[in-house]
Amino acid sequence: MQFALMIYHSPEEFAMRKNDYNDPQLGAWRAYHKALVQARVYVGANALELPETGTTLRLRDGKRRVQDGPYADTKEQLAGFIILELPSVDAALEWAARCPGASLGAVEVRPLAPEAMQRGFTG
């Protein structure tokens, strides 16, 4: 089954992000990615831009209500996600424990909805 590892950062952790290939943090993420690929569990992943670059939209009475910022008004915000193919939540928690995101912020592990339901969404 497939699991999403959702990586949450505090503002301080977002501030630590650097676009520098030699940054040790980025090195840790590259090593982690390599391990996921080598273990043949990697399905996909993406990092997200800073939360303040987000825009939240609701359609109410046919009108767009657009709000600056991320959906949830919480200190820790979604920073990225990884999709993995694994046999159980135990294995997913193992990989979450190795994730560089776990030693900084937090990593939520959640199963993707079962395939039968996914087909309902996608046709």
Partner 1 sequence: MNGSNQEDTHRTIERVARESYGRLVAYLSVQTHDLASAEDALSKALLSALTHWPQDGVPQNPEAWLLTAARRSVIDVVRHQRVAQASEPTLKLLKEDSMETMLGTDFPDERLKLLFVCTHPAIDPAMHTPLMLQTVLGLDAARIAQVFLIAPKTMGQRLFRAKTKIRSGGIPFEVPQERDLPQRLDAVLEAIYAAFGIGWDELFGTDQRGRSLAEEATWLARVLLQLMPDEAEVQGLLALMLHCEARRSARRGPDSRYIPLSEQNPKHWSLPLIEEAERHLSEAFKLGRSGRFQLEAAIQSVHAERGRTGRTDWAAIAAFYEQLVRISFSLGTQAAYAAAVAEAKGPEAGLAVLESIDRDAVADYQPYWAVRAHLLQRLGKTREAADAYDRAIDLAEDPAVREFLLQKRG
Parallel, antiparallel, or unpaired: how do β-strands 55-60 and 42-47 relate?
Answer: unpaired
Site for partner 1 in 58-87 (CB under 8 A): 86-87
Please count the residues of this chain forming the interface with partner 1, following the rule CB under 8 A.
14
95: how many CB neighbours lie within 10 A of its CB? 22
- CB nearer partner 1, residue 66 or residue 117: 117
Evaluated on CA atoms 31, 34, 40, 46, the torsion sign reads positive
Minimum Å gap between C-beta 54 and partner 1 is 28
Q: Does residue 3 bind partner 1 (CB under 8 A)?
A: yes
- CB nearer partner 1, residue 28 or residue 93: 93
Question: Tokens 């080598």 sit at which residue?
Answer: 38
Parallel, antiparallel, or unpaired: how do β-strands 42-47 and 77-85 relate?
Answer: antiparallel
Site for partner 1 in 83-112 (CB under 8 A): 86-90, 92-93, 109, 111
